[in-house]
Amino acid sequence: MIFLKNNDEINKLRACNLIVLEVLDTLESLIKEGISTYELDKYAEEMTIKKGAQPAFKGYRGFPASLCISLNDEVVHGIPSKKRIIKSGDIVSIDYGVYLHGYYGDSARTVGVGNISDEAKKLIRVTREALDLGIEQCRVGNRLGDISFAIESHAKKYTFGVVRDFVGHGIGRNLHEDPQIPNYGAAHSGLLLQKGMVFAIEPMFNLGTEKVCIQEDEWTAVTLDHSISAHFEHSVAILDKGPFILSKL
């Protein structure tokens, strides 16, 4: 079931996502050679609690940390660890969510550390662009497939693999609500978009195969061919005047 949000609810979702934005900005400034993924998780958690919110992912279906942090060939759901030290050349995906006053915020981005390859730079840029192109389709009267198609088409231009095992989602009083938003699909197909729908749109592109597998920790998704992967996500409300990106200033 899809829940349409009124203005009051959209304001609450905005408040959640502004905290997510602030945490991600802070983490991005802290991501340097030598820091552990555990330290980044602690920063995120402490910042969130100081603001009176709660980390949304901690304990969600048993996830053991606040921050999902996925390096290089890891696609999503990497678990922070004291043993995992960031080094130059890594690409680091940070995915964060908070819960505040009954609502959720969710956003993600991928950053390069030190000298990263030109291929990695391109993968990061194109995945970010695909998110923007998907968001641009979040308009009353469009269809869900328009979002999916815009994202997939951009990846295809560069022959990147579009992850199919994980998708975007509605967000509101629940972290994950209907509808599912695949990063692939046909234009002019599927659900008719309406005012008050709020979506977390999250393309995940791989340099190689679209196929992923889950590590022994039962969480971390990695590319099957160990090629690198990038992930960008925004929470977006559909308004009469067009998309309102809740997790961006």
| Residue window 143-182: x/- pattern of binding to Mg ion, with contact defined by CB under 5 A | ----------------------------------------
Q: Which is nearer to Mg ion, 7 or 174 (CB)?
A: 174
Nearer to Mg ion, 73 or 106 (CB): 106
Tell the smallest beta-carbon distance from residue 115 to Mg ion (Å).
27
Nearer to Mg ion, 85 or 191 (CB): 191
Cis peptide before 203 (omega within 30 of 0): no
No. of helices (H) and no. of strands (E), the chain: 4, 15
H or E segment and range at residue 229:
strand 229-231
By rule CB under 5 A, what string of x and - marks binding of each residue 83-112 to Mg ion? ------------x----------x-x----
Q: How far is the CB of 125 from Mg ion (least distance, A)?
A: 20
Q: How far is CA 68 from the centre of its chain?
A: 10
Could you say which residues in the range 214-243 bind Mg ion, by CB under 5 A?
Answer: 233
Q: What six digits make up the tokens of 148?
A: 């999916």
| C-beta of residue 49 within 8 angstroms of C-beta of residue 100 | no
Supply the DSSP string of 179-206, one letter for each residue.
Answer: EEE-S---TT-SPBP-TT-EEEE--EEE
Q: In this structure, what DSSP letter does residue 80 have?
A: P
Give one word for 77, left, alpha or beta, with left for phi > 0 and alpha for psi -120 to 50.
left
Which residue, 69 or 108, has its beta carbon nearer to Mg ion?
Answer: 108
CB of 32 to Mg ion, least distance (A): 23
* Closest approach of Mg ion to the CB of residue 159, in Å: 25
Q: Does 200 bind Mg ion (CB under 5 A)?
A: yes
| Contact region with Mg ion (CB under 5 A), list: 47-55, 152-160, 192-200, 211-219 | 192-200
Residue length, the chain?
249
Q: Which three-class secondary structure state does DSSP give residue 44?
A: helix
Work out the angle between the directed axes of helices 118-136 and 144-157 (0-180°, nearest 10): 160
Rounded to the nearest whole angstrom, what is the least distance from the CB of residue 169 to Mg ion in the complex? 6
| Residue 76 binding Mg ion, by CB under 5 A | no
Question: Which is closer to Mg ion, CB of 34 or CB of 102?
Answer: 102
Q: Which residues bind Mg ion (CB under 5 A)?
A: 95, 106, 108, 200, 233
